[in-house]
Each structure stands twice: as structure tokens, then as C-alpha cells.
Amino acid sequence: MTSPILITGRGVVSAIGRNKAETLDALLNNRSGVGPLVYLKTEHKEFPVGEVKMSNEEMRKHLNINDKDITTRTALMGMMALDEALKDARLTTDMLPEVGFISGTTVGGMDMSEQYYLDYISNDNHKEYIKVHDCGSCSEMTAEHFGKFAFMTTLSTACSSAANAIILGANMLRRGEAEIVVVGGSECITKFHLNGFNSLMILDTKPCRPFDATRAGLNLGEGAAYLVLETEESAKRRGVKAQAILSGYGNACDAFHQTASSPDGEGAYRAMKEALELADIQPSEIGYINAHGTGTPNNDLSESHAVMRLFGDNVPPMSSTKPFTGHTTSASGSIEAVFCILALQHGFLPANLNWSQPMDDGIVPVHQSVKKELKHVLCNAFGFGGNDSSLLISRAKVPATVEGPTQHNGTSTSSATVYILSAKQISVQQPLCEDWMMQPIEYQAYFNRSIDPSFKEYISPIEARRMGKILKRALATSKEALKASGLNSVDAIITGTGYGCIENTEIFLDALSKEGEQMLSPTYFMQSTHNTISSLVAIQLKNHGYNVTYAHKGISFDSALQDAWLQMQLGKIHSALVGGHDEMTETFYNILKKGGVMGQDKEMCGEAAVSVVLGTEKHDSLCKLVNFKMLHKPSAETLKVIAKDFQADYILTGISGNHKSDEAYLTECKELFGSSILLKYKHLFGESFTSSGIGLYVAAQCLKAGNIPAHLFVNKDEIKGKKPSKILIFNHTDGNNYSLTLLEA
């Protein structure tokens, strides 16, 4: 028996309440928060939504935030939920440097970008908001309102984002990477995704009716929720009690379609089955299922079939709580997890509001609130691209004895050897080859687009016509990396992307800003979500394994690598396809340059698509991944302690031509790694939010070749032809987020 994962704190804000007490009252009294639009300024008044009943100004006042401080609605709601969760778990500011923070969002700062997009293009008005467009910025604003956390990252898998944040946090606790993590998600309603869902024709003009024969679509909602996950040892030491236990969890990919669920609900079935198996709980022990239940014809039928496949003739009571809140998209997994804990604590089944007529070949939900003692419940969250996750939450009853000690010193001792089996790139250098090692292409311009190969052998012409460039590059590098690895398939597909499919996002946003909220293309919206990349790769490879996407600035790829590394050490997976994919348009480059995000000084920016296959069996590998660590705003002393485990002959830095950043690299490398020889690569490949993936590719190829090309040395006087045995990839973003990746020949 392993130590249980305790839930020791919760915070929630949604259309039915600003805290747990208001939320419980609404659930028990069948009071929906879905109604006419009030706060979002849009042409579409015909759609009911679940808005949080506060303006941004009211939230600012509630949180004591200065009017001059830059923030977003997503971050404001996140702060409210996080405030309650921290107080609930009795976590104070001085404790946070030992606590991890993992959040899920897809919208990020789009509420500001859609307001000021035309200003971003044509003038300097509101340029300060450019820095808060990305998902990671919203997570950082949310967390840093309360203090400094030890670790931070952001998942962006559409409607399963918060659930996947919970899964990562649980794996970190199981591995001993942390004792306490705060996990969940936040998402506000924007014109961008209201119109996007409308273009897909899946919004209902009436209150949604999940699992009803007359269901016609979903109602959008917004909100945030965070859970505090903690080891039993930590909770005992702090004197806090468990409110519930996270007994199991599962994530799988439907690998069927970018927006539709498969008829048999394969991904949902696999996710729920995995959660039960991890918890060692029989299907008959589940007392309630909080369904994903969006109210769309496709989702509800697919989920019904998945549940009936798993539970047979003994389907537990099941309901969707989305008629209470609307579909809160990225935040739904954590918001509904809070609902499940309330149901466990207070002994009731939440009602499936608005239900009246049974659907053909589907489940009949709980349509009136019912009193019932519960021990175990399942909470489902399914995202675009078939990213399906399920959480198994149990009533708080901690086992008396605990076997199998865990580590809590923040350092991970490998229990599995991890090999980098292959790595392929498409960038501003020669694609899908290593010609750059001998004859690199040199650029004078500060912004350059990737050199694309012919995609004919990877993608059919019919598919290619509707596919953005970043998707083509991801597919080509993924297929080439898998072929070179010697594997037929992998256990997981994990992707990092700072901005996702920005070209299609820009097209949709441009049309929305200039032409209004009518006749918008569903293709551009569908391909604007960050996890489109990872899910498309899974669909093409017919891979049903673990599938998630990270979107946190310059550690997006590093976060994906950490997830793969962590699960291999836990023995949950034995192979993974890890990708780092970012594209850039000239318009968006100029916007980022104006906002001071990229393109400063002599920094060259480019595009990066890199796919790396990791495995625990050697095959014909490039090198070994021997150690890995991520930190958020570490002290100088903490960095010195960690660096002792990451000493190497060569240090591959992120020197890019940005004077401020480069000085930080040079100073820290001298202090941390002494006489190690410094290398660089961004002068050849350019800067991007996932350029650290290119860095790993470069280091791995150098170790395989047994040679460091002369054009990678920072100091040409240090070129000695010494064969590399270990290379450390040292990455930081704005001096806040650090990653250390140690490779060995």
C-alpha cells in the first residue's frame, strides 16, 4: 500500500457561488447560475451562460488589487479560488516556497487580447497587456498574488486542463518531488471562444439539458477551483485533516476526431478504467459519477456508451452539473471535483437539472437531488481532441499504516534509466537532418520562418489543405522520430507549446476584431486550441495512451519532458513522444517585440518543431537522460545546492542576443558550474517559447556524434576537441522559471 494522496484544502468560484458554502447551498437547492449575458460584451445575447456574478472591478476590490496592476479575468477568478484553498488548508505565505502550483487554462489572457488586438497591431496603446496573453502568465499572476511557490507550470488541454493539473500534482507527490501541491484551473468566458463554439454549432439558445432526448448543445460558463494535495506525513506534521482522498486517476486519448467523441467512447472508457485500477477499486464500489455531460448530442451518447461498457448493467447514479454552472471548459475538472467532495462530505447526489426525456441508448441521470451516503465517486473531464481524464475521489478515511516510504527532499533518485532514443527537428536550419552540425545556415534578419520539407509523405493532400503549418511540422517530426526510435508505438504523447497554433488563432482573432461576430470559420477556431497539436499526432498514430499539453512560457517543453521523466520513474510509462512546437507570424512577432516579450536587442527569433522519443530500453539511442529538475524563482543558495547534482563538462545555455538575459546566463553559469565550457545554439535556431526542446535535440546529437561543432562554443578560445561525456542544458525564462536537464553519452 502506498501513502494516500490527501485533499486538505479547496477553493471554488463559479456562476453558483464565490466560495464552497454558496456552492453547496446552490447544489442542495437546485439553483442554477446560468442566465443571460451580463459582463461579456458581445453581439450574441441569445446564448445563456454561467458567468461569475462579479465584474472585474468588483473582483479587484475584493482581492485588494491596485487599479494600475495588470491582470486578466482568468487570473482574478483564479486568485479568488486560490485564496480560499490556501486558507482552507492553513497554508501561509511563508510556506509557499515549499509548495508547487499547477494550473490549467486555455483562454489565458484572451479576454484582454480580443479587446486590444487592433491596438497591438497599429499603436502603442495597451501594449502592456501583450505580456499576459499566454496561459503561463495567467498562472503566474494568480499564484504570485500570494507569494513565491517552489514550482509552477500550466496545462492546456481544453476542457480537461484542470483535471490533468490534478494528475500531474498527484504524480509529483507519489514520486516524492513535493509534499504539497496546489492544483486546479481557471477560465473566463471570452468572445473568442463563445464565437468559436458557436461556429462549431454546439451552443444551445436554451438552458442545456445533458442526457436529455431534446439536448441541443452546451452553455458556456466560467470559474476557477483549486485543490490542495498533500502527503499523509505532511498533513500529520502540520496537524491538518483530510477532506477527501484522491484514490485514482486516469488519462487517455480517444484518438478519433479533433472535436467529436468516438461512438463507443474509447478514450473515456480507458480513462475511467485506469482510475479504478490505480485505486484498486471495483466498479461496483463507485457510488456516483459526475459526468462530463456537456449537453451536446455527440458527447452525451459517447459518454453513456463508455460508462455502460465499464459498468455493464450496474451503472452508478450519474449526473452532469453543467446546468448549474455552464461548461467552465478548462476549469471544469477542478470545479466539479469540488462538487464531488461536497457530495461525499454531505451525502447527496447533485441533480442533472433540466432533464425530462430519456435519450435513446443512453443513461438516465439523477434528475432530482437525492440524499445518499457515498464512499467513492468518479469525476470526468473530456477535452477537444479526445483528451479524456477521470478522477476517483474517496471519502476521507486514512489507512492506519503506510508502507513504502517516499522522499520529500525535492530531489529525485532514478529508479529507471531513461534513454533518448531519437530526436528530429524542423526549424530555420536544414529540416529533419543534422547538416547544421557541419554547415549551418547563418541569418542576418532577426525574424525567420522555418524551412519546411515536403509534407507529402506524412500528410495526405486532402488533410494538408486544412492543416496549419505547426500541425504539419509536428506530424512530420513525430513520425520521423518514431521511425528512428525503433518503436512501433509509445505509451504517452506529451507536448509543450508556448502559443500553440498562433497562425490560426491570429486569423480567427483578426476576423473577429475587424469583421465582427458572424460567419467565423470553425476550422481556425478548432486549430487554435493548444492541445490540437498533441491530439492530432495521437489521431494520426492511432495512439490511445496518455496525452497532455503544457503551455507555460519558456518552460513549456521542459514541463512536457518533466512529465515523461516523472512517469518513467514511477513506472507508469516506459516510452514517450515528447514534442516542443511553436510557430510565429510576422504580425505576432511584431506584437511580441512591441510588448517586450521577444526580439529584444540582437535576439533572433524563429520557429521550432522538435520531437523526441524517450524510452526505458536502450535500443540504438542517442544518449541518456540522467537527471532533471525544474524550479520557480529559486534563491541563489537553492540553485547552488541543486547545481551540485548537475555538473557537466559542457553547459548548453540559452544565450540568444538579448543582453539582459545573456548576462544572467553568463553570471549564473560561472557561479554554478565553475570551469565548465559554455555552449550556445539560439544564434543558429532562434528564440521561441519551446527552443529548449531544440537545445535538447542539439545536445543529444552532439553526444551521439561524440563531437561539439565549433560554431556552438560561446568562447572560441575553449575549442579543444574534447569528446563530450555529459552536457547540461541550462534554461531559464525571465529569471523566474529554471530547468536543468543533464544528458550523458
Q: Could you give the residue numbers annotated as active site?
A: 159, 292, 327
| Chain position carrying cell 526505458 | 616
* Dist CA 599 CA 593 (whole Å): 5
| Chain position carrying cell 481532441 | 385
- For residue 98, the 8-state DSSP code is G
Strands (E), 36-99: none
Give Cβ neighbours of residue 744 (< 8 Å, ≥ 6 apart): 623, 624, 626, 703, 725, 726
Task: Return the SS3 of 741.
Answer: strand
Grid cell at residue 402: 503506510
Q: Which of 590, 379, 580 is nearest to 470 (CA)?
A: 580
Interaxial angle between packed helices 659-673 and 636-643, expressed in degrees from 0 to 180 and rounded to the nearest 10: 60
With the CA atoms of 236, 238, 244 and 247 taken in that order, what torsion angle do they form, in degrees rounded to the nearest 10? Answer: -60
| Chain position carrying cell 459526468 | 291
| Chain position carrying cell 501513502 | 3
Give Cβ neighbours of residue 414 (< 8 Å, ≥ 6 apart): 569, 626, 627
Cα 558 to Cα 175, 386, 458, 482, 627, distances in angstroms: 18, 24, 26, 20, 13
Cα 211 to Cα 167, 220, 362, distances in angstroms: 27, 17, 7
Interaxial angle between packed helices 297-311 and 266-279, expressed in degrees from 0 to 180 and rounded to the nearest 10: 40
Residue 331 near residue 185, CB atoms below 8 Å: yes
